[in-house]
């Protein structure tokens, strides 16, 4: 059995806690940390040279929150600081027949969304496409050392038509909102993963694809992203959190998305899922998302999960 530890920032009314799920023994816990949420707690551990895993597993249960059950408060991107400028988001693309592996800056934490939130497309966009994959999360400690924390699932939005114009337009095409699952897997990938990607339009399935991430590919992308960040001092400011989106897709003829489409991403090995709806600013006042076919948690239309962590 995988020895993963799943982490979740829990916000319930005025209560804050850290949700933990231990894949090894199947136990769940809503833990109380005197330092605040997950970001503050891991920063404390880094300053004291404490093991993240050992410290988190040793936290006491929150006296006012149940150990299990769905999170009632708002979901948050994992490890996101209260200052969105400390959260930096970038993307690493895969090689294709016509392109090389590339690194693209996407923006700060203001564009980072999570499960259930709409992905807003600006007026000036020429096209809409998504790239599912994994997100590597790094924390910069007070010694300016880049430390790998863990990984999660992600949906990255970009503009393929704009990217084909020139180098400047290609960089601009990546400045779009993206989504990460609210749960973070602490540590490295231990076994291969399968990613199932579904696109739904007007209540009907438009596309269904599956991708595979093996350990060799994992270590290649980890080495690439960590080396790139460590070579550039501007990315090593204490307190920064880096979200590096790694695409699982090598497709060059990508599916064109439109207002109201649902993007579902599911990983059965991690029991995680991510659902987001595309929202075009240009059409939102004419066709509000509330007028689109409703998909609630009770309908069972969200990605299948063996356990509902959130």
Per-residue pLDDT tens over the stretch 218-237: 998 899 999 999 999 999 99
Q: CATH topology for 84-299?
A: Fumarylacetoacetate hydrolase; domain 2 (3.90.850)
Q: Residue 22 CA to chain centroid, in angstroms?
A: 20
Q: Quick one: pLDDT band at residue 25, thresholds 50, 70, 90? A: confident
State the Cα torsion 276-277-278-279 to the nearest 10°.
-120
**pTM, rounded to two decimals:** 0.92
The pLDDT assigned to 166 comes to: 87
Which string of b and e fits 226-246 if b means at least 16 CB within 10 Å?
A: beebeeeeebbeeebbbbbbb
Q: Quick one: pLDDT band at residue 100, thresholds 50, 70, 90? A: low
Q: Measured at the alpha carbon of residue 41, what is the angle toward residues 37 and 42, in degrees to the nearest 5?
A: 120
* Residue boundaries of the structural domains of the chain: 5-57, 84-299
Q: Residue 296 CA to chain centroid, in angstroms?
A: 21
């Amino acid at each position: 059995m995988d020895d993963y530890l799943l982490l979740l920032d829990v916000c319930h009314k005025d209560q804050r806690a850290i949700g933990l799920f231990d894949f090894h023994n199947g136990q769940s816990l809503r833990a109380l940390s005197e330092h605040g949420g997950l970001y503050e707690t891991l920063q404390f551990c880094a300053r004291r040279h404490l093991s993240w895993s050992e410290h988190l597993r040793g936290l006491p249960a929150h006296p006012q929150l149940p150990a299990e059950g769905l999170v009632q408060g708002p979901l948050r991107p994992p490890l996101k600081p209260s200052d969105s400028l400390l959260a930096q988001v970038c993307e690493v693309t895969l090689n294709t027949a016509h392109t090389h592996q590339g690194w693209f800056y996407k923006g700060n934490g203001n564009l980072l969304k999570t499960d259930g939130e709409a992905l807003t497309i600006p007026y000036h966009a020429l096209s809409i496409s998504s790239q599912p994959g994994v997100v590597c999360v790094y924390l910069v400690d007070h010694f300016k050392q880049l430390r790998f924390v863990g990984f999660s699932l992600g949906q990255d939005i970009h503009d393929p038509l704009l990217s084909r114009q020139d180098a400047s337009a290609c960089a601009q095409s990546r400045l779009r909102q993206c989504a990460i699952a609210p749960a973070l897997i602490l540590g490295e990938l231990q076994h291969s993963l399968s990613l199932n990607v579904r696109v739904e339009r007007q209540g009907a399935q438009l596309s269904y694809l599956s991708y595979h991430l093996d350990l060799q590919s994992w270590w290649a992308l980890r080495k690439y992203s960590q080396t790139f960040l460590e070579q550039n001092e501007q990315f090593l400011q204490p307190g920064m959190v880096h979200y590096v989106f790694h695409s699982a897709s090598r497709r060059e003829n990508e599916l064109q998305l439109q207002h109201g489409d649902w993007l579902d991403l599911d990983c059965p090995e991690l029991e995680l899922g991510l659902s987001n709806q595309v929202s075009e600013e240009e059409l939102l006042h004419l066709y509000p998302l509330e007028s689109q076919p409703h998909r609630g948690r009770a309908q069972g239309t969200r990605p299948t999960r063996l356990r509902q962590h959130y």
